[in-house]
Structure 1
């Protein structure tokens, strides 16, 4: 049951924000479209992972990691109009792509878990989300819409734990299965929390088309 929770139940819950987003389709803005793309990507690759279970499907994970980082960076890039920030995001996307190629074809292999890219992916996203949230909370006037705040919080909850898990992935292999399952279930629960935050965020687009 524990394994089913984090491998079947939680991934299936990715449908929740997708359904809510489609219900609120006419209120979408640029950020809503990018977030929907992220959710669609995640759900599609979860299906691929299930269909290829039992074989070495790690090449799909390498591809997913690059696409995931690119889409999330485009989403976070849309929060800033500062030209320097936008150039920084472009550099991050290009640099991460180069890193992923180096890891998959030079340092390791496409058929080995991409520990370093996954860790850096999660860490970078967490830091940027935290920056935007702290900047907003430190301001006397909130500059983030409800949609923006909820999506940033959801991403932060999920990717902060992901960075810790991917950083400790070698250690988790050595601990008892029950302990490893506990860590992955906590991680899955925060993934579920992210989906719930996203669903509420899309629902919040109901009242004002600008996402507030």
Structure 2
């Protein structure tokens, strides 16, 4: 399996584990926001490394390590001083989302002329669905703390619509990965 898919798989595992932990704690009536703060940092790092790895296959001059250092400092400062661990980190979650959207757009721009047999074509499909995922959540995350002032039914509707879109995206990503695995089942593993 290519290293880029291993990194993406790592992101999926972290995402799945965080979903289980935060949902379990929510149903138990406990504060789950510390895990969301931690996941924001992990998500930022893993997806930045994912796009850094993707860009090894085409010319790229993006200084990923500077972006990682700057983003990490902002996320930590936000969690310590602006939106503490008992408050939803809408500012940094939005920032990470917008950075991932920019990574996606940049990657799609640089790979728009791929041949149909190019190895990055499957990665390009994943990136398109990631773009949909992060675009669908960007506005909701940016205004999630302000949404507390609207009626509960509207809040639930917004979060339900976001969840429905994310379910479709996750099913599409799952389909892409499963079809890749079955298509390459008999091919020797490479890194």
Q: Is the 8 A contact 2:90 2:143 kept in 1?
A: no
Q: Is the 8 A contact 1:146 1:201 kept in 2?
A: no
1:172 to 128, 144, 147: 147
Q: Is the 8 A contact 1:146 1:204 kept in 2?
A: no
Deviation at 1:135, TM superposition (A): 3.4
Consecutive unaligned residues of structure 2, counting only runs of 5 or more, are none
Aligned to 1:60: 35
The answer to whether the aligner puts 1:84 opposite 2:57 as a matched pair is no
* Equivalent residue runs for 1:30-45 within 5 Å: 30-45=3-18
Aligned to 1:23: none
Deviation at 1:161, TM superposition (A): 1.6
Q: Is the 8 A contact 1:148 1:201 kept in 2?
A: no
Deviations 1:35-58 (CA, angstroms, capped at 9, x unpaired):
111111011111111332212221
Q: Distance in 2 between matches of 1:206 and 1:92?
A: 36
The answer to whether the aligner puts 1:186 opposite 2:150 as a matched pair is no
1:49 to 12, 19, 22: 22
Q: Distance in 2 between matches of 1:32 and 1:76?
A: 11
Higher RCO structure, 1 or 2 (CA under 8 Å, sep 6+): 1
Normalized against structure 2, the TM-score is what?
0.84
Deviation at 1:144, TM superposition (A): 6.3
CA 1:193–1:146 in structure 2 vs 1: closer, same or farther (change >3 Å)?
A: farther
Aligned to 2:180: 204
Q: Is the 8 A contact 1:150 1:197 kept in 2?
A: no
1:107 to 82, 85, 89: 82
Deviation at 1:175, TM superposition (A): 1.8
Aligned to 1:156: 131
Normalized against structure 1, the TM-score is what?
0.76
Deviation at 1:67, TM superposition (A): 0.4
Deviation at 1:159, TM superposition (A): 0.6
Deviations 1:53-95 (CA, angstroms, capped at 9, x unpaired):
212221111111100111111111111124632xx22122211
1:74 to 24, 49, 52: 49
SS in 1 for 2:136: helix
Q: Is the 8 A contact 2:55 2:107 kept in 1?
A: no
Q: Distance in 2 between matches of 1:133 and 1:205?
A: 23
